[in-house]
Structure 1
Amino acid sequence: MFPLLLFILLFCNPHSLVSSLNGEGLALLSFKQSITEDPEGSLNNWNYSDENPCTWNGVTCKEGNVVSVSIPKKKLLGFLSSALGSLSDLRHVNLRNNKFFGSLPVELFEAQGLQSLVLYGNSLSGSVPAEIGKLKYLQTVDLSQNFFNGSIPTSLIQCKRLKTLDLSRNNFTGSLPDGFGTGLISLEKLDLSYNKLGGLIPSDMGNLSSLQGTVDLSHNRFTGSIPASLGNLPEKVYIDLTYNNLSGPIPQNGALMNRGPTAFIGNPGLCGPPLKNPCSADTPGANSPSSFPYFPNNYPPQNSGNSVGKSGKAKGLSKSAVIVIVVSDVVGICLVGLLFSYCYSRVCACNKGKDENGYSFDKGGKGRKECLCFRKDESETLSENVEQYDLVPLDTQVTFDLDELLKASAFVLGKSGIGIVYKVVLEDGLTLAVRRLGEGGSQRFKEFQTEVEAIGKLRHPNIVTLRAYYWSVDEKLLIYDYIPNGNLATAIHGKAGMLSFTPLPWSDRLKIVKGVAKGMVYLHEFSPKKYVHGDLKPNNILLGLNMEPHISDFGLGRLANIAGGSPTLQSSRMTSEKPQQRQPSNAPSDVATVHSATSLGSYYQAPEALKVVKPSQKWDVYSYGVILLEMITGRLPIVQVGTSEMDLVHWIQLCIEEKKPLADVLDPYIAEDVDKEEEMVAVLKIAMACVQNSPERRPTIRHVSDALDRLAMSSD
């Protein structure tokens, strides 16, 4: 029977007869068998006919051995096979943003040369095996956005070379391992946010001197007081402790000093600056008046009358004491007079010969001497100038400094009521977008710093990244990634002066609206404050090299207001360029009229904007719906109908009521895609749901994004 069974097995698996695939290839094929869905065919060229897997998609070899398996964002569904652990030279595993489920196999950590393990954005669960401590060369662990639970293994602190640890958005519980701060001495990035971690924050975390960017412990259950040792972290590190159960006074030292309240909100038990909740005298660790440095314990009590001796008689001043006081007063008055006379002469000298920077030149003209008199602007803002006059990076990728920025070539991209935007090219070729916020305002630096650092923490592929900022009395700059393909308004309508214009095909339009929806989902649901954009429109959607969308100008109105400007809702619109009037030969006669972008801005605002000052998330949904209609119809948000004008939303509603043909509604440039007509109709229905007059009837942006994703899947 056994020879017969062997014959059957060989006959059913002919690859075993002809395959010359090495052991690593067979291990990877075992991994492939654990994947039940591969909708994009990412693993189609993984087969038995090759000698080794080095030419397979996502596989990198060195000297014939597999060193990397990287298959991100391919919608792979399955579990993680233990076979990966048998790849003895494996260094990097990147399976982020797929649909893997199940637990981490213990065998995976047999690949003891592993340097990076990136699995974020899956549905993995269970605990992290203690065997992770075997990985002596591990530098990056990113398990964020999964369903891991249990405690963080104590063995993790044995990974002395670990630089990035991101366990955010899971269900981890328990306290941090003992020795967390002294063990992970190479750690540069730490994100433990959105878990259920508890206990005390280890005091030895102040030893993590290599940390950069944001140390995020927010949205957990940490208790007790904030260790003063956290102030020993590098001063440029932003420590986010929001939404825990911390209590007691906030230490004011090192990296904890001069932080805005946004780093500590959500902890009702915390007190003291920068919060408006003062510490009571019986708060442990709080400074009572008797222990404050300026009021030592032996400070004499104050009485309204003369001091009384033991005998009960008031003691008077002696004759010699009176003489000393009188002489001192006379000398003091003389000194004040001399000082006043000196300063007056210096003021005159300054006013006669100072240049525009407040310096006066000597008569010989050989140099300049600093004027010693106090100018009004300096004396009033001296206390506000702390941490100013320098470029402040918001992430580790910022490698340029202020001098390089000021020496770079700059080209004006646009102007608005909020300032000028420049395209800046550094000497090394790096291209940035720099916005000047104007010259006003010098009293609200700390408020500006808190706001801009919160915005700088936002990281999403469909949101423009704020990389750095600069603040001084005379200049406020915001430095962003440069997005090269202009904005969506120009891509839809063109603009005046364009020699040629190629409208977007439907595939690009669908890709763009899906990307914008994902970016808005991040702002609404996953950003630290669940932000509202409040000014979403095509001018604020920039397009990358592959026409991927990037939402821009988020929080700009707020920053401009803090920086000293008073931007109105209308003046905050970016650029005043006029769209080009498109009139193809088959265009309907009631072509949209040409309006400046500034005058069109209000048409993206929800109806409740006339009554409510503060935007809501449903306000953003309405704006997004108008953008969808603009993409489908190719029209501006105001339409010319005969001799009158009508906003795009009401025009569409009128077309539906009159049962006009779909061809009369669609942009003529995409009407030719007959096979995509069902998609267009579906997007039109989504748009109409978004522009409902009542905010309660509009869907959330997450529901919109999910609907668009299902639409794309059904069309594949």
Structure 2
Amino acid sequence: MEGILGISSNKVATTFSASSEADSLLKFKSSLDDQSNALANWNSGSPCIGDQANWIGVLCMKGSVWGLQLENRGLEGEIDVDSLAGLPSLRTLSFMNNSFNGPMPEIKKLGALKSVFLSYNRFSGEIPADSFEGMSYLKKLHLAGNQFEGAIPSSLTQLPRLLELRLEGNQFTGQIPAFAQHNLLLLDVSNNELDGPIPASLANMNSSSFSGNEGLCGAPLSPCTAAPASSDKKGSSSFTAILIYAIVASVLFLMALVLLIFCLRRRNQTSQSIEAPPPSNLQKKASFKEEGHVRHGSPDNSSSGKKAENFKLSFVREDREKFDLQDLLKASAEILGSGCFGSSYKAALFSGSAMVVKRFRQMNNVGREEFQEHMRRLGRLRHPNLLPLVAYYYRKEEKLLVSDYVENGSLAVYLHSNHARGKPALDWPTRLKVVKGVAKGLTYLYNELPSLIAPHGHLKSSNVLLATTLEPLLTDYGLIPVINQENAQDLMVAYKSPEYLQNKRITKKTDVWSLGILILEILTGKFPANFLQQGQQGSDQDDLATWVRLVAGEADQWPAEVFDKEMRAKSESEGEMLKLLKIGLRCCEGDVEKRWDMKEVVQKIEEVREKDNDEDFYSSYAGESDVRSSRGLSDEINFSIPI
């Protein structure tokens, strides 16, 4: 009787908990302005059953809500933190790319949060200094692209587990506080209004993390000027020197201005030169400087013509419309997103065609000749599953790569954001088509770039674009030779592989591991958390393959819940789906010696069919212990998707 009562009380407690969480979510929903009705199925029943979510945007674990992923859903209003306090297992919030407004939500009331993603909304005002006090579990905080102002909250420096902090694209002022966290992997405060010296603890960060703040100085930017002497005598002499310097500078400026006016008048008398246009949309959005790019109409201007030649786009394809950097800079521009390497922009040319311009700042250690030779090498590649490089632009500090614009966007969007876009999920035949196309593209890269250890090196769903026919197009391939080594180790997918985390090396099978993770992502619909980690702190427990093995290892048979439910609901081919899943796991084998090579993987993938016709499939795989490991599962997944 006592055992029966125990079980009964547990069920009652579980039911009560689910009901309480449902009430909290419904209260939260009522505070939102959901004009697009994105949360239509938040109405009745339990939001979670085990690890399965019944409500859109809800992330579940063991029957409780541990995350909300409500990105790109057109939500407005202010976030009601008090209603979310009724979710005791809540660990991650992602409300990116909505229209939430008002001040910074009081998220410190949710002290157990590990990840908070509020980027690209309309939050504004100052953030109180103590806004993050007591959030000792917080690892990732993204507030980019809002309208926050005032000082950066000092309580951020007291978060012991902080790994990522993104504050770029706001209006923060004052100095950067001293961050003492030794495990801080990513900090981005670019495009604010900050000034003063950069704290020494941040000197090893990438310089692009501080760009767009004219008042900042110190490593990794230019050194700060020396402070004035403390004594009155030295202070007086310093003031005198500054005054004299200012007078001399003013005189020189006036002389230069007169000379400039004279030169402009002379130039207006001729028709052999063209006046440089004002900053364009792309220049403003990308903060890109031409540094003297001038087009000349006369071949006699040899020195100026040579200078202009240095700022021309270099085309690697002859079958594309020719344009120059000036055409791109004058074009209307749209920010497509910011990824590991930098930002991507869609530039609409006057001819009507659209190009994508990717801006790289992690190639500044590459010499001009080396860079040009490698770009020409990539430009010679021709394959239906590769997005071709069209042109490039070289400058010491940064590089531009130009390619065709693909309207459909990336595979990551189709896998993880189709609900928000109101589009149906990819069915099984389409996902199989994508996997086969990716495999063919990788095979071609392996054949054409045999000298590269990892011919792709950065394979992930956001780097697979889908053509109008949903044929996959690989992008960002072959970049390892031109990316600074320290940046490559921090950012590129190849350096998240088990062999690099364990032995600090990548191999010819590293791209196979990336392909395996991609296959699992396509079949499960889950985003691989380890690809989102900056630096080299990943672990097996963050691996999507580990989650699949864990779920499979807890069941006598492979559970159907492993597969994306929307794909599974429209397919009667679980045998073939399972076959591809097992191929993905063999690609993710941590021991490189046991991992299949690319040729074997592609051969196995080609054998997978759209429909089941092998009745003995399950029995033929019975007892495979190599894919049923009992390793643990990470309790946190970063759900923001870089472009």
TM-score category of the 2 structures, normalised to the smaller one: 0.3 to 0.5
Point out which structure has higher relative CO (alpha carbons under 8 A, 6+ apart): 2
TM-score, normalised by the number of residues in structure 2? 0.44
